[in-house]
Amino acid sequence: MDKFVQLQDVGMAFDTRQGRFVALRNVNLDIREGEFLALIGHSGCGKSTVLNLIAGLLRPSAGVLLCHNREIAGPGPDRGVVFQNHSLLPWLSCYGNVYLAVERVFGAKENRSMLKQRTHDALAMVGLSHASHKRPHEISGGMKQRVGIARALAMQPKVLLLDEPFGALDALTRAHLQDELLRIVAQTRTTTVMVTHDVDEAVLLSDRIVMMTNGPAATVGEILAIDLPRPRERLALASDPAYHAARNVVMDFLYRREIRQAA
């Protein structure tokens, strides 16, 4: 299906003490099944708002959002979300955190050993089988984000929504997790939408990059298709002119056309 997730004339306004704040206006976007889409733009332009609308955590003030031709009316297991700051339950182990989500989605239909298998498989996919018994405070930031990704993927969502999942990590851990994410989405073919500030991350991972204009009343400014073949390998891309060309288009948009206003 070509239009897997659709945003049609979406607008979002927030009521604040200073009055109504229009964050998004006339956002139109079709997300294709199996594609990896990055949302990039300056801080405060509305990237997370778009993601939260797709997640169903926010309702639009105008327009409509569809997933698989059905209106998005709230959160659902068909859309798995991973936030920048992991939202793991501190009293549960990595296994327990993933199992809880698995049980919620599949508990009514599957027996305990099937649920356990799903949990083990998800943790193995992110390379965390060895740490499954540990609790969140006993593992690193990168590992916590991996648990978050395992938890989201274990629900077998139609769409994986990532809100700057690697934003708080050091550069090496971040690169490592990007490579893992490349491998995982190649394996699962999950439709993925990722919010990022990082141009290199967007080019490395994406099929298309959605560049957003500055807010207020932000919208889609430009969409760039990244035609680099897969599997992608970061070292090889570093000397690939097509990679640099794509990177330059995004840099030009962000730092020439949509220059950020001084905060």
Point out which residues bind ligand ATP (CB under 6 A). 14, 16, 21, 23, 41, 43-49, 215
The least CB distance from residue 235 to ligand ATP, in Å, is 29
Do the Cβ atoms of 176 and 20 come closer than 8 Å? no
Nearer to ligand ATP, 25 or 232 (CB): 25
What is the token pair recorded at 152? 């989201």
Q: Least distance from C-beta 188 to ligand ATP, angstroms?
A: 25
User: In 3-state terms, what secondary structure has residue 20?
Assistant: strand
Minimum distance from CB of 178 to ligand ATP (Å)? 18
Residue closer to ligand ATP, measured from CB, 29 or 105: 29
CA angle 130, 132, 133 (to 5 degrees): 105
Q: How far is the CB of 46 from ligand ATP (least distance, A)?
A: 4
Tokens of 28: 């139109």
Name the residue nearer to ligand ATP (CB basis): 19 or 229.
19
What is the smallest separation between the CB atom of 218 and ligand ATP, expressed in angstroms? 7
Residue 119 CB, nearest approach to ligand ATP (Å) = 31
Residue 68 contacts residue 4 (beta carbons within 8 Å): yes
- Toward ligand ATP, which CB reaches closer, 116 or 197? 197
Nearer to ligand ATP, 81 or 128 (CB): 81
> Based on CB atoms, which residue is closest to ligand ATP, 52 or 93?
52
Cβ 16 to ligand ATP, closest distance in Å?
A: 5
- Residue 38 CB contacts under 8 Å (≥ 6 apart), including other chains: 193, 194, 195, 196, 201, 202, 205, 206, 208, 209, 210
What is the sign of the dihedral through the CA atoms of 163, 168, 173 and 175?
A: positive
Q: What are phi and psi of 255, to 5 degrees?
A: -110, 0
49 vs 93, beta carbon nearer ligand ATP: 49
- DSSP H helices, the chain, are 47-55, 94-106, 112-125, 141-154, 171-188, 199-205, 234-237, 241-252
List the structure tokens of 88: 């793991």
